[in-house]
């Protein structure tokens, strides 16, 4: 297994471990869905790595991951957002993403053999916008007082850094044949994102987790 992939798997495992250990804090809040999703990511990464070691193609696993990542985040933040109009924006984004996925499938990047970079970029954009909408809603509510004590804040920071950092390299990924800088940036943004998640899970206090 490549060292980089190994490090990412270690970081994900650590995040999952901390999340399960601190699960009592989020049992009754939507953050438990994040824990379940990290569980899915762990399984996906493990399977992908074993496919790679056996020389099999991981295109489908990666495509499923990119779609799951987008849908999950759009869904998660739509639940968190209280304002009904903003919630609708989340649902519309899911719809737009679905359309984008379908179009990409049919005309540009076939699902089984090509990595869905275009849809992933679209997804990352949409998720980033929704996260900012959520953060601006928090700024105008009482939650602003104990912001750094909530897990969602740290999760949002992690997602923003991942999305911002990953989009540029994803645009040219095919050109540089998924090598070199692509792998380093992928490693870097993953480590930062999961570190934010771990910080959020550890620092947050139960009463502030919604």
Give the residue, chosen from 52, 94, 167, 191, that forms a contact with other proteins under the rule CB under 8 A.
167
Give the residue, chosen from 172, 178, 205, 206, that forms a contact with other proteins under the rule CB under 8 A.
172
Report in angstroms the alpha-carbon separations of 158 from 48, 104, 128, 142: 23, 27, 11, 22
**CB proximity list for 86: less than 8 A, separation 6 or greater:** 133, 134, 137
Smallest distance from other proteins to CB 29, Å? 21
Of 24-32, 42-50, 100-108, 170-178, the window that binds other proteins (rule: CB under 8 A) is 170-178
Q: How far apart are CA 140 and CA 152, in angstroms?
A: 16
Q: How far apart are CA 207 and CA 210, in angstroms?
A: 7
Of 58-66, 70-78, 159-167, 200-208, the window that binds other proteins (rule: CB under 8 A) is 159-167
Smallest distance from other proteins to CB 180, Å? 5
Our finding on whether 191 is near other proteins (CB under 8 A) is no
Give the residue, chosen from 165, 190, 201, 208, that forms a contact with other proteins under the rule CB under 8 A.
165
Report which secondary-structure segment, H or E, holds 181. Answer: helix 181-203
Our finding on whether 144 is near other proteins (CB under 8 A) is yes
Q: How far apart are CA 165 and CA 187, in angstroms?
A: 11
User: What distance separates the 2 farthest-apart alpha carbons in the chain?
Assistant: 52
Binding-site ranges for other proteins (CB under 8 A):
135, 139, 144-145, 147, 157, 160-161, 164-165, 167-169, 172, 175-176, 180-182, 185
């Amino acid at each position: 297994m490549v060292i980089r992939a190994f490090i990412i798997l270690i970081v994900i495992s650590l995040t999952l471990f901390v999340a399960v250990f601190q699960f009592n804090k989020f049992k009754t809040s939507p953050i438990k869905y994040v824990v379940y999703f990290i569980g899915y990511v762990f399984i996906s990464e493990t399977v992908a790595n074993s496919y790679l070691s056996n020389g099999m193609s991981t295109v489908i696993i990666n495509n499923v991951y990119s779609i799951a990542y987008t849908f999950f985040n759009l869904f998660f933040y739509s639940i968190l957002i209280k304002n009904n109009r903003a919630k609708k924006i989340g649902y519309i984004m899911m719809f737009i993403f679905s359309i984008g996925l379908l179009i990409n499938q049919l005309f540009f990047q076939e699902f089984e053999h090509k990595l869905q970079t275009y849809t992933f970029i679209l997804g990352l954009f949409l998720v980033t916008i929704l996260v900012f909408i959520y953060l601006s809603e928090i700024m105008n509510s009482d939650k602003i007082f104990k912001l750094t004590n909530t897990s969602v804040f740290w999760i949002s920071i992690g997602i923003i850094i991942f999305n911002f950092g990953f989009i540029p390299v994803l645009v040219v990924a095919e050109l540089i044949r998924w090598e070199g800088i692509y792998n380093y940036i992928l490693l870097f943004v993953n480590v930062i994102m999961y570190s934010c998640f771990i910080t959020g899970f550890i620092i947050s206090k139960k009463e502030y987790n919604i």
